[in-house]
Amino acid sequence: MRVTHASLHLVRLPLVHRFRTSSHAKDHLDHILVRLTDESGAAGWGEIASASDPFYSPETVDTCWLVAERYLLPAVVGARWEDPAEVAGLWAKVRGHQFAKAGVDIAAWTLWSLSGGVSLATALGGVRDSVVAGVSLGIEPTIDDLLAQVGKHVDAGYPRVKLKIAPGWDVEPVRAARSSFPDLQLHVDANGAYGESEEEVRALRALDEYGLSMIEQPFAPRNLLAHAALQRDIETPVCLDESIDTLDDLRTAVVLGALKVLNIKVSRLGGLGPAVAAHDLAAEHDIPVWCGGMHEFGVGRAANVALSSLPGFTLPSDVSASDKYYERDVVTPPITASAGVVEVPTGPGLGHVVDEAFVQASEVRTVELRA
């Protein structure tokens, strides 16, 4: 296979509901869509789902654009490869920049599966024909607003709800959600906002009595020791997100006992190939995994659905339907969920068609490269 033409498309979509985490709030998102074409003219799409600001990861939309334009696309355009797993080798000298790499990697997998006439899920080793979706809810102005959001998504059929927490917004919202929804699969995500002060660790320990399915990333990304210490103290499984950018990070965290559950994000790990490898490694250590999200547009979301069809994804993934986030998505049909279940497409590639006219109408910036 040889990519003869590549382009980047910075696309802005408004969010239907403002999303606040421990670090920031967003009303719209700018993601970079990646389009690769081969000699036959077939187009494979990928998505760089980086945030605009370096608050979740050190990457931003601008760093992703720079690295993709200057290093990743020039490495891919014109090169010959047989299997998308080889594509990461083309940019092996580039350190870090996982989100930028992931977008190009997804496009290569999509192009390859499309050309082979198989679904992306099949190409990745998927075994399920549907996946269970959870929702991730941001910090709301009041507890009543939060309960209204939880109720709305429970009514829509989602079986698992994750709540963003931060010091000062933790035990009270969790107590309220648990008392209103006693049987709901509930978990919390702190995005690394907690320190190791007695007061902050006490609040995390206090969450142990609410039957949460996990506490996601309470401490700073590189602080594996704090996660291991908390896991020794509480029954609730500790889940790592921001701490795990590479398979080496995962190996270290396992040895330290810093996690019982892994959030696999295609973006954070640098692509679908590394995401599958993380899934395999977690399975060897009996660590259940789920697929995390970055509010992906339809391209990245379809890739997440395909990945979630692998056997180790036994917990609900953040692959909610497009309409939780966007009025109109960049793919047709949009991703839909019925009673919290998303069907895994069986058609070639992503199984969704990119609405190129809508992409063009919504794009803020574009660049192309030819062999």
* Residue (140 or 241) nearer to Mg ion, CB: 241
Q: Please, what is the minimum distance in Å from the beta carbon of residue 176 to Mg ion?
A: 21
Binder of Mg ion out of 105, 241, 245, 318 (CB under 5 A): 241
101, 162, 164, 324: the catalytic one is 164
Residue 245 binding Mg ion, by CB under 5 A: no
Residue 56 binding ligand OSB, by CB under 6 A: yes
Binder of ligand OSB out of 293, 298, 300, 351 (CB under 6 A): 293
Q: Please, what is the minimum distance in Å from the beta carbon of residue 56 to Mg ion?
A: 8
Half-sphere exposure of residue 163, counting CA atoms within 13 Å on the CB side? 30
User: Residue 289 phi/psi, 5° resolution?
Assistant: -125, 160
Residue 47 binding ligand OSB, by CB under 6 A: no
User: Residue 209 phi/psi, 5° resolution?
Assistant: -90, 5
Bridge partners for 162 per DSSP = 136, 187
Closest CA to 4 of 76, 98, 61: 76
Closest CA to 231 of 211, 257, 253, 206: 257
Residue 241 binding ligand OSB, by CB under 6 A: yes
Binder of ligand OSB out of 50, 119, 191, 317 (CB under 6 A): 191
Binder of Mg ion out of 170, 189, 200, 318 (CB under 5 A): 189
- Tell me if residue 265 is catalytic: yes
Stretches 8-16, 93-101, 104-112, 291-299: which one binds ligand OSB (CB under 6 A)? Answer: 291-299
* Residue (56 or 169) nearer to ligand OSB, CB: 56
Residue 249 binding ligand OSB, by CB under 6 A: no
Q: For residues 341 and 133, what is the distance between their CA atoms, to the nearest angstrom?
A: 6
The count of residues interacting with ligand OSB (CB under 6 A) is 11
Closest CA to 292 of 207, 189, 212, 365: 189
Q: For residues 102 and 169, what is the distance between their CA atoms, to the nearest angstrom?
A: 33
In the block, which residue shows the tokens 């979740």? Answer: 56
Residues in region 313-332 near ligand OSB by CB under 6 A = 318, 320
Sign of the four-CA dihedral 61, 313, 156, 138: negative
- The residue nearest Mg ion at its CB is 241
- At CB < 8 A and 24+ separation, what contacts does 331-336 make? 331/297, 331/298, 331/299, 331/302, 331/355, 334/298, 335/298, 335/301, 335/302, 335/305
* Residue (200 or 242) nearer to ligand OSB, CB: 242
User: What are the Cα distances from residue 325, in Å, to 18, 127, 296?
Assistant: 9, 27, 9
Task: Show the site string, 193-232: x = touches ligand OSB by CB under 6 A, - = not.
Answer: ----------------------------------------
Axis crossing angle, helix 247-256 with helix 224-233, rounded to the nearest 10: 40
Residue 59 binding Mg ion, by CB under 5 A: no
Interface positions with Mg ion (CB under 5 A): 189, 216, 241
- Catalytic residue numbers? 164, 265
Interface positions with ligand OSB (CB under 6 A): 56, 136, 189, 191, 241, 292-295, 318, 320
